[in-house]
A and B are shown apart, each in its own frame.
Chain A
Amino acid sequence: AQSVTQLDSHVSVSEGTPVLLRCNYSSSYSPSLFWYVQHPNKGLQLLLKYTSAATLVKGINGFEAEFKKSETSFHLTKPSAHMSDAAEYFCVVSDEGGYQKVTFGTGTKLQVIP
Protein backbone atom coordinates (compact mmCIF):
# COMPACT_ATOMS: atom_id res chain seq x y z
CA ALA A 1 0.00 0.00 0.00
CA GLN A 2 1.13 3.53 -0.62
CA SER A 3 0.11 6.96 0.56
CA VAL A 4 1.37 10.50 0.41
CA THR A 5 0.85 13.42 2.79
CA GLN A 6 1.36 17.03 1.88
CA LEU A 7 1.75 18.79 5.17
CA ASP A 8 0.60 22.26 4.12
CA SER A 9 -2.54 23.02 2.14
CA HIS A 10 -1.42 26.64 1.61
CA VAL A 11 2.03 28.23 1.53
CA SER A 12 2.58 31.93 1.08
CA VAL A 13 5.99 33.44 0.28
CA SER A 14 7.28 36.78 -0.90
CA GLU A 15 8.76 37.04 -4.36
CA GLY A 16 12.48 36.36 -4.27
CA THR A 17 12.38 34.30 -1.05
CA PRO A 18 12.86 30.52 -0.80
CA VAL A 19 10.05 28.05 -1.32
CA LEU A 20 9.57 24.85 0.71
CA LEU A 21 6.66 22.50 0.00
CA ARG A 22 6.62 19.46 2.23
CA CYS A 23 5.74 15.90 1.28
CA ASN A 24 5.93 12.67 3.24
CA TYR A 25 5.20 9.27 1.75
CA SER A 26 4.45 5.76 2.85
CA SER A 27 5.36 2.82 0.66
CA SER A 28 5.69 -0.94 0.97
CA TYR A 29 8.34 -1.03 -1.74
CA SER A 30 10.89 1.27 -3.28
CA PRO A 31 8.76 4.18 -4.41
CA SER A 32 8.71 6.34 -7.48
CA LEU A 33 8.14 9.94 -6.45
CA PHE A 34 7.04 12.92 -8.49
CA TRP A 35 6.05 16.53 -8.14
CA TYR A 36 3.45 17.95 -10.50
CA VAL A 37 2.35 21.57 -10.85
CA GLN A 38 -1.10 22.76 -11.87
CA HIS A 39 -1.55 26.38 -12.86
CA PRO A 40 -5.06 27.85 -12.62
CA ASN A 41 -7.46 26.24 -15.08
CA LYS A 42 -4.67 24.17 -16.59
CA GLY A 43 -3.67 20.53 -16.67
CA LEU A 44 -0.87 19.00 -14.64
CA GLN A 45 2.77 19.33 -15.64
CA LEU A 46 5.61 17.20 -14.34
CA LEU A 47 8.15 19.26 -12.37
CA LEU A 48 10.55 16.48 -11.44
CA LYS A 49 10.76 12.81 -10.64
CA TYR A 50 12.86 10.70 -8.33
CA THR A 51 15.18 8.04 -9.69
CA SER A 52 17.58 6.00 -7.59
CA ALA A 53 20.52 7.60 -9.39
CA ALA A 54 20.59 10.61 -7.09
CA THR A 55 18.73 11.64 -3.97
CA LEU A 56 18.75 15.31 -4.99
CA VAL A 57 16.59 15.74 -8.05
CA LYS A 58 16.57 18.84 -10.22
CA GLY A 59 13.48 19.76 -12.15
CA ILE A 60 12.19 22.50 -14.39
CA ASN A 61 11.91 26.19 -13.47
CA GLY A 62 14.61 25.99 -10.81
CA PHE A 63 12.80 23.52 -8.55
CA GLU A 64 14.49 20.62 -6.85
CA ALA A 65 13.57 17.93 -4.35
CA GLU A 66 15.55 15.71 -2.03
CA PHE A 67 14.63 12.09 -1.38
CA LYS A 68 15.27 11.17 2.27
CA LYS A 69 14.49 7.55 2.90
CA SER A 70 15.12 7.76 6.66
CA GLU A 71 12.54 10.53 6.95
CA THR A 72 10.26 9.19 4.18
CA SER A 73 10.21 12.69 2.75
CA PHE A 74 10.44 14.27 -0.68
CA HIS A 75 10.22 18.01 -0.04
CA LEU A 76 10.16 20.46 -2.95
CA THR A 77 12.33 23.58 -2.81
CA LYS A 78 13.28 26.59 -4.87
CA PRO A 79 15.85 29.19 -3.80
CA SER A 80 13.91 32.21 -5.05
CA ALA A 81 10.18 32.37 -5.76
CA HIS A 82 8.85 34.01 -8.89
CA MET A 83 5.34 35.32 -9.42
CA SER A 84 4.81 32.69 -12.11
CA ASP A 85 5.34 29.95 -9.52
CA ALA A 86 1.93 30.62 -8.00
CA ALA A 87 0.04 27.39 -8.58
CA GLU A 88 -1.12 24.15 -6.98
CA TYR A 89 1.60 21.55 -6.38
CA PHE A 90 1.00 17.83 -6.04
CA CYS A 91 3.32 15.23 -4.60
CA VAL A 92 2.77 11.80 -6.13
CA VAL A 93 3.92 8.33 -5.12
CA SER A 94 3.88 5.06 -6.99
CA ASP A 95 5.21 1.73 -5.83
CA GLU A 96 2.87 -0.45 -7.83
CA GLY A 97 4.77 -0.06 -11.06
CA GLY A 98 3.25 -3.16 -12.60
CA TYR A 99 -0.07 -1.37 -12.94
CA GLN A 100 1.21 2.21 -12.98
CA LYS A 101 -1.13 3.15 -10.16
CA VAL A 102 -0.18 6.42 -8.58
CA THR A 103 -1.48 8.18 -5.49
CA PHE A 104 -1.74 11.94 -5.40
CA GLY A 105 -1.30 14.10 -2.34
CA THR A 106 -4.02 16.59 -1.51
CA GLY A 107 -2.04 19.45 -3.00
CA THR A 108 -0.35 22.60 -1.71
CA LYS A 109 -1.42 25.96 -3.03
CA LEU A 110 1.56 28.26 -3.38
CA GLN A 111 0.87 31.98 -3.19
CA VAL A 112 3.65 34.39 -4.17
CA ILE A 113 3.34 37.91 -2.81
CA PRO A 114 4.91 40.76 -4.81
Chain B
Amino acid sequence: DTAVSQTPKYLVTQMGNDKSIKCEQNLGHDTMYWYKQDSKKFLKIMFSYNNKELIINETVPNRFSPKSPDKAHLNLHINSLELGDSAVYFCASSQDLKLATDFFSYNEQFFGPGTRLTVL
Protein backbone atom coordinates (compact mmCIF):
# COMPACT_ATOMS: atom_id res chain seq x y z
CA ASP B 1 0.00 0.00 0.00
CA THR B 2 3.05 2.24 -0.44
CA ALA B 3 2.04 5.58 -1.92
CA VAL B 4 5.28 6.43 -3.75
CA SER B 5 7.78 3.64 -4.29
CA GLN B 6 11.25 3.60 -5.78
CA THR B 7 13.50 0.80 -6.94
CA PRO B 8 16.19 0.03 -6.19
CA LYS B 9 16.74 1.38 -2.71
CA TYR B 10 20.51 1.11 -3.06
CA LEU B 11 22.57 1.20 -6.23
CA VAL B 12 26.34 0.79 -6.34
CA THR B 13 28.03 0.98 -9.73
CA GLN B 14 31.23 1.88 -11.54
CA MET B 15 31.98 5.13 -13.32
CA GLY B 16 30.92 5.10 -16.95
CA ASN B 17 28.04 2.68 -16.49
CA ASP B 18 24.40 3.40 -17.40
CA LYS B 19 21.72 2.85 -14.76
CA SER B 20 18.00 3.43 -14.21
CA ILE B 21 15.91 4.20 -11.16
CA LYS B 22 12.19 3.49 -11.24
CA CYS B 23 9.38 5.33 -9.49
CA GLU B 24 5.73 4.49 -9.16
CA GLN B 25 2.89 6.24 -7.34
CA ASN B 26 -0.54 4.82 -6.57
CA LEU B 27 -2.09 8.08 -5.38
CA GLY B 28 -3.72 8.97 -8.68
CA HIS B 29 -1.56 12.12 -8.93
CA ASP B 30 -0.85 13.69 -12.28
CA THR B 31 2.49 15.32 -11.46
CA MET B 32 5.73 13.56 -10.58
CA TYR B 33 9.21 14.83 -9.74
CA TRP B 34 12.82 13.80 -9.34
CA TYR B 35 15.03 15.43 -6.71
CA LYS B 36 18.71 14.99 -5.95
CA GLN B 37 19.93 15.19 -2.35
CA ASP B 38 23.67 15.65 -2.01
CA SER B 39 25.95 14.64 0.84
CA LYS B 40 25.13 17.87 2.68
CA LYS B 41 21.43 17.00 2.58
CA PHE B 42 20.67 19.78 0.09
CA LEU B 43 17.62 18.90 -2.00
CA LYS B 44 17.34 20.19 -5.53
CA ILE B 45 14.62 19.55 -8.06
CA MET B 46 15.75 17.97 -11.31
CA PHE B 47 12.62 17.25 -13.34
CA SER B 48 8.86 17.42 -13.14
CA TYR B 49 6.30 15.71 -15.34
CA ASN B 50 2.58 16.41 -15.58
CA ASN B 51 0.51 13.78 -17.37
CA LYS B 52 3.63 12.40 -19.04
CA GLU B 53 4.69 15.86 -20.23
CA LEU B 54 7.93 17.49 -19.07
CA ILE B 55 7.17 20.77 -17.27
CA ILE B 56 10.28 21.43 -15.19
CA ASN B 57 13.77 20.72 -16.39
CA GLU B 58 16.40 22.28 -14.21
CA THR B 59 20.03 22.58 -15.20
CA VAL B 60 20.83 18.92 -15.28
CA PRO B 61 23.42 17.23 -17.53
CA ASN B 62 22.10 15.57 -20.67
CA ARG B 63 23.25 12.27 -19.24
CA PHE B 64 20.09 12.33 -17.11
CA SER B 65 16.95 11.45 -19.01
CA PRO B 66 13.56 11.05 -17.36
CA LYS B 67 10.91 8.88 -18.94
CA SER B 68 7.24 8.73 -18.07
CA PRO B 69 5.44 5.79 -19.71
CA ASP B 70 2.22 6.76 -17.94
CA LYS B 71 1.22 9.24 -15.28
CA ALA B 72 1.83 6.73 -12.47
CA HIS B 73 5.46 6.14 -13.41
CA LEU B 74 8.50 8.36 -13.77
CA ASN B 75 11.81 6.64 -14.36
CA LEU B 76 15.25 8.22 -14.33
CA HIS B 77 17.96 6.94 -16.64
CA ILE B 78 21.55 8.05 -16.16
CA ASN B 79 24.22 7.51 -18.81
CA SER B 80 27.97 7.49 -18.30
CA LEU B 81 27.80 7.77 -14.55
CA GLU B 82 30.29 10.08 -12.82
CA LEU B 83 31.56 10.25 -9.25
CA GLY B 84 29.58 13.45 -8.69
CA ASP B 85 26.34 11.65 -9.42
CA SER B 86 26.61 9.89 -6.08
CA ALA B 87 23.64 11.10 -4.05
CA VAL B 88 20.22 10.11 -2.83
CA TYR B 89 17.55 10.52 -5.48
CA PHE B 90 13.98 11.10 -4.40
CA CYS B 91 10.86 10.71 -6.45
CA ALA B 92 7.72 12.64 -5.48
CA SER B 93 4.19 13.20 -6.72
CA SER B 94 1.46 15.77 -6.23
CA GLN B 95 -2.16 16.41 -7.04
CA ASP B 96 -3.15 18.00 -10.34
CA LEU B 97 -4.42 21.59 -10.11
CA LYS B 98 -7.79 20.73 -11.63
CA LEU B 99 -8.51 18.13 -8.96
CA ALA B 100 -7.04 19.86 -5.91
CA THR B 101 -9.47 20.95 -3.23
CA ASP B 102 -7.46 24.08 -2.63
CA PHE B 103 -4.29 25.69 -3.87
CA PHE B 104 -2.24 24.27 -1.04
CA SER B 105 -3.32 20.71 -1.69
CA TYR B 106 -2.06 21.32 -5.18
CA ASN B 107 1.46 22.00 -3.94
CA GLU B 108 1.85 19.25 -1.35
CA GLN B 109 4.26 16.65 -2.58
CA PHE B 110 4.49 13.05 -1.41
CA PHE B 111 7.96 11.58 -1.41
CA GLY B 112 9.31 8.12 -2.03
CA PRO B 113 11.88 6.53 0.31
CA GLY B 114 14.82 7.48 -1.89
CA THR B 115 17.47 5.63 -3.88
CA ARG B 116 21.04 5.90 -2.63
CA LEU B 117 23.33 5.89 -5.66
CA THR B 118 27.04 5.32 -5.12
CA VAL B 119 29.40 5.66 -8.07
CA LEU B 120 32.84 4.14 -7.55
Contact = CB atoms under 8 A, between A and B. Distances in A.
B56 A101 contact: yes
Given A42-B113, A97-B103, A104 B55 contact: no
Identify whether the interface residues of A are mostly helix, strand, loop, or mixed: strand
B34 interface: no
Interface stretch (B14-22, B40-48, B59-67, B73-81): B40-48
Given A34-B108, A100-B94, A100-B106, A107 B113 contact: no
Given A45-B111, A99-B56, A107 B90 contact: no
Interface in B51-105: 55-56, 90, 92, 94, 97, 102-104
A51 interface: yes
12 contacts: A32-B103, A42-B114, A44-B43, A44-B92, A46-B108, A94-B107, A100-B31, A100-B33, A100-B94, A100-B109, A101-B48, A102-B107
Given A43-B4, A45-B111, A102-B109, 19 more contacts: A32-B104, A34-B107, A36-B111, A38-B41, A43-B112, A43-B113, A46-B109, A46-B110, A51-B102, A90-B43, A97-B97, A97-B106, A99-B56, A100-B48, A102-B45, A106-B40, A107-B42, A107-B43, A109-B41
Interface of B: 4, 31, 33, 40-45, 48, 55-56, 90, 92, 94, 97, 102-104, 106-114
